[in-house]
Chain A
Amino acid sequence: MTGPLIPMGVIPETWNNVIALIIGIGFGFALEASGFSSSRKIMGTFFGYDFVVLRVFFTAAITAMSGIIYFDFMGWMDASMLYINPYYVSSAITGGLVMGAGFALGGFCPGTSFCGVAIGKIDAMIFSAGLFVGIFIFSEIYPLFEKMYNSGNLGGAMIYDMLGLSKGVFAFLLIIVAIGMFYAATFVEKKVKKVDY
């Protein structure tokens, strides 16, 4: 079966929401079981006492990336049909910087806060409520952001094209960098004073 299955018409669209629910269960389980329902465990990555976020995030990214490249190479999936989030330079960077500040204050990102909600973390519930308010505020004052939101559209630009590398070379370098970071993380954890949480 050549993927992606739903866009190719292999699975009818009516199954979409059932599949979404099942995928979400896997997503939520992986996040919670790894410790992402705890803001203090998540924040360990930024203070060096627990690099779980770095390890899980980069392992997940290179696993999915390798799977996609392999399936595309073997002809089992047409990677050109996959959705690519358009790259609007200034809004992507500004949005990322604002999210980073929210991360450092709240200790969660949206997905991890939902895991916290699922196990009864009141701070996660308040963080999630803040998300609704933030999105509401953004929507109401959108005219202020509109120019930035729509400027510098590079469409579905690929990082390896921008760097003038082939996809395979970039993917290989990313895996090497990730492994290097995993080693460095273990080294730093040994140096940093333990934090009980």
Chain B
Amino acid sequence: MKNNKRDGTFYINPYLGGILLGLVLFATYYITGRGLGASGAVKSTVVTAVHAVAPSHAEESGYYSKFLSDDASPMNNWLVFEVLGVIIGGFISGTIYGRLKLKVEHSPKITDKRRLIAAASGGLLFGIGSQLARGCTSGAALSGMAVLSASGIITMMAIFGSAYLFSWIFKKLWI
């Protein structure tokens, strides 16, 4: 191995990465009967927090109430543990390849502040969209594609099609 793999610039081969991710997704279906997810864990946390602060508001709401049940807290949710695992797994990989560093990453043409405002707006829109589509890139698009569901393929095409269009509109943020 000639290259220094720990300087943060090394990434595994994308096809190897895809096969690894595909095997993780396959194992998830084989073991649990469901796919992967990410936004669902945030939803569970929001539901739990709102229920703790304003229990009657959550119980009367048309949306929160869908995810509240008497026997278990929504925090006690499969996806919450899975996302804790994602953070641990990302940290392990970041440690191995030397990428642990506190920083704001952005194009040299924009400021930290502009990048952070765009990131906050992007997260906000992704949060709203993921609730409408009943899942995000992981839970709706990728997991749906693995089982060839209509919702998975259509949501994937909508996300990537829209991202292609909007990334040219917001081109100055990136290149």
Chain B associates with chain A: yes
Instruction: Kindly list chain B residues whose C-beta atoms are within 8 Å of the C-beta of A132.
Output: 42, 45-46, 127
Instruction: Kindly list chain A residues whose C-beta atoms are within 8 Å of the C-beta of B15.
Output: 55, 59
Inter-subunit contact B129/A5 (CB<8 Å): no
Inter-subunit contact B116/A122 (CB<8 Å): yes
Q: Is the interface of A mostly helix, strand, loop or mixed?
A: helix
Shortest Cβ distance from B70 into chain A, in angstroms?
18
Instruction: Kindly list chain A residues whose C-beta atoms are within 8 Å of the C-beta of B61.
Output: 139-140, 142
Shortest Cβ distance from A91 into chain B, in angstroms?
5
Q: Which of A30-78 contact B (CB under 8 A)?
A: 30-35, 37-41, 43, 46-47, 49, 51-52, 55-65, 67-68, 71, 77
Partner of A47, one of B21, B34, B174: B174
Inter-subunit contact A63/B33 (CB<8 Å): no
Partner of A68, one of B29, B36, B82, B128: B29
In the docked arrangement, what's the CA distance between A83 and B24, Å?
16
Is A188 interfacial (CB-CB < 8 Å)?
no
Q: Which of A136-156 contact B (CB under 8 A)?
A: 136-140, 142-143, 145-146, 148-149, 154, 156
Is A126 interfacial (CB-CB < 8 Å)?
yes
Instruction: Kindly list chain B residues whose C-beta atoms are within 8 Å of the C-beta of A65.
Output: 145-148
Is A95 interfacial (CB-CB < 8 Å)?
yes
Q: Do A92 and B134 contact each other (CB < 8 Å), given the known contacts A3-B31, A26-B89, A65-B148? A: yes
Inter-subunit contact B85/A33 (CB<8 Å): no
In the docked arrangement, what's the CA distance between A136 and B124, Å?
9
Q: Do A138 and B32 contact each other (CB < 8 Å), given the known contacts A34-B21, A159-B153? A: no
Is A176 interfacial (CB-CB < 8 Å)?
no
Inter-subunit contact B85/A4 (CB<8 Å): no
Inter-subunit contact B35/A83 (CB<8 Å): yes
Q: Do A32 and B94 contact each other (CB < 8 Å), given the known contacts A5-B30, A21-B85, A114-B87? A: yes
Shortest Cβ distance from A58 into chain B, in angstroms?
7
Inter-subunit contact B127/A138 (CB<8 Å): yes
Is A184 interfacial (CB-CB < 8 Å)?
no
Inter-subunit contact B116/A97 (CB<8 Å): no
Inter-subunit contact A28/B86 (CB<8 Å): yes
Shortest Cβ distance from A67 into chain B, in angstroms?
4
In the docked arrangement, what's the CA distance between A76 and B33, Å?
13
* B 89-132 to A, binary, CB cutoff 8 A, 1 in contact else 0: 11111101101111111110000000110111111111111111
Inter-subunit contact A4/B30 (CB<8 Å): yes
A to B CB contacts below 8 Å, 28 in the list: A4-B30, A4-B31, A20-B85, A27-B89, A30-B20, A33-B96, A34-B18, A38-B105, A59-B19, A63-B25, A63-B26, A67-B23, A87-B151, A96-B140, A100-B161, A102-B128, A104-B122, A105-B122, A114-B90, A121-B103, A122-B103, A123-B119, A131-B123, A134-B123, A134-B126, A139-B47, A140-B61, A142-B61
Closest 10 CB pairs of A and B: A24-B85, A106-B122, A130-B123, A134-B127, A100-B162, A59-B18, A96-B158, A63-B22, A28-B89, A95-B133
- B residues with CB within 8 A of A: 11-12, 14-15, 17-36, 38-39, 42-43, 45-47, 50, 61-64, 76, 78-94, 96-97, 99-107, 115-116, 118-171, 173-175
For the A-B complex with A84-B149, A103-B167, A120-B100 known, give 17 more contacts whose Cβ atoms are closer than 8 Å.
A5-B30, A23-B82, A25-B89, A33-B11, A34-B17, A37-B99, A52-B14, A55-B17, A60-B22, A91-B132, A93-B154, A94-B158, A95-B133, A119-B91, A135-B130, A139-B63, A170-B148
